[in-house]
Amino acid sequence: MSAPVPQRTAPFVMPAKAGTHATWVLAFARMTKWIALLLLLALATHAFAVEPSERLADPALEARAVAIGATLRCLVCQNESIEDSGASLAHDIRVLLRQLLLKGDTDEQAREAIVARYGEFVLLKPPVQPATYILWFGPAALLGLGFAAMVVWLRRRPAATSSAEPLSPQEQSRLETLLREADR
């Protein structure tokens, strides 16, 4: 009845009587699964939808394909890149992209070939051209406009403190009597 109930300790709480070698080993043993989980999570940051069979044997070429693919929109799930998307259309475009690169296309040629099929909408980053000037420069223009308005407003505002007329001698003496009364 009085057998000690095994205590469940929170994962990262150090043993109460820290110091001896054995307690540290125990604490570490308790933490291993959490450490393993953290390591696994660290690995998971580069989880692409790319299937092993799509990957090119040449790592340099594959790296280029990944870099280009990350800038191309999947048209089925319209806010994902084709590298991230599991849609079968994304798979098709990934394969096409790799075929183009294997054929010897430059990055630019490969991108162009896909834009020719699907339009500029496939580019996740819209190109700078007259139709997108508002998109690219609008925010900066608004900021500049706001700044200009602020400058105008500040200039027009009657300078309240600095350019006020100096007190007349009567006012000055009245102020002094008031201050003296307040001090008393």
Partner 1 sequence: MRRALYLLPLLLFVVLAGYFALALRPGYDPQTLPSAMIDKEAPAFDLAGLNGDGLSRDGLKGGPVLINFFASWCVPCRVEQPVLMRLANREHVPLYGIDYKDQPEDAAKLLAQFGDPYRRVGLDPDGRVGLDFGVYGVPETYVLDSTGHIRKRFVGPLTAEEVDKELLPLLKALKKS
Q: Footprint of partner 1 on residues 117-156 (CB under 8 A)?
A: 117-121
Q: Which residue number, 27 or 105, has a Cβ lying nearer to partner 1?
A: 105
Name which of 85, 72, 77 is nearest 120 in CA terms: 72
Q: Which residue number, 27 or 118, has a Cβ lying nearer to partner 1?
A: 118
Structure tokens belonging to residue 123? 């580019």
Integer Cα distance of 61 and 110 in angstroms: 12
Of the candidate residues 116, 159, 160, 164, the single one contacting partner 1 (CB under 8 A): 116
CB of 106 to partner 1, least distance (A): 20
Amino acid identity of residue 46, one-letter, is: H
Q: Which residue number, 76 or 148, has a Cβ lying nearer to partner 1?
A: 76
How many of the chain's residues bind partner 1 (CB under 8 A)? 15
Q: Which residue number, 50 or 85, has a Cβ lying nearer to partner 1?
A: 85
Residue 56 has, within 13 A of its CA and on its CB side, a CA count of 19
Structure tokens belonging to residue 168? 């007349």
Question: Rounded to the nearest 5 degrees, what angle is found at the Cα of 111, between the Cα atoms of 82 and 55?
Answer: 50
Structure tokens belonging to residue 45? 């940051």
Q: Footprint of partner 1 on residues 63-102 (CB under 8 A)?
A: 75-76, 78, 88-89, 92-93, 96
Site residues (CB under 8 A) for partner 1?
75-76, 78, 88-89, 92-93, 96, 115-121
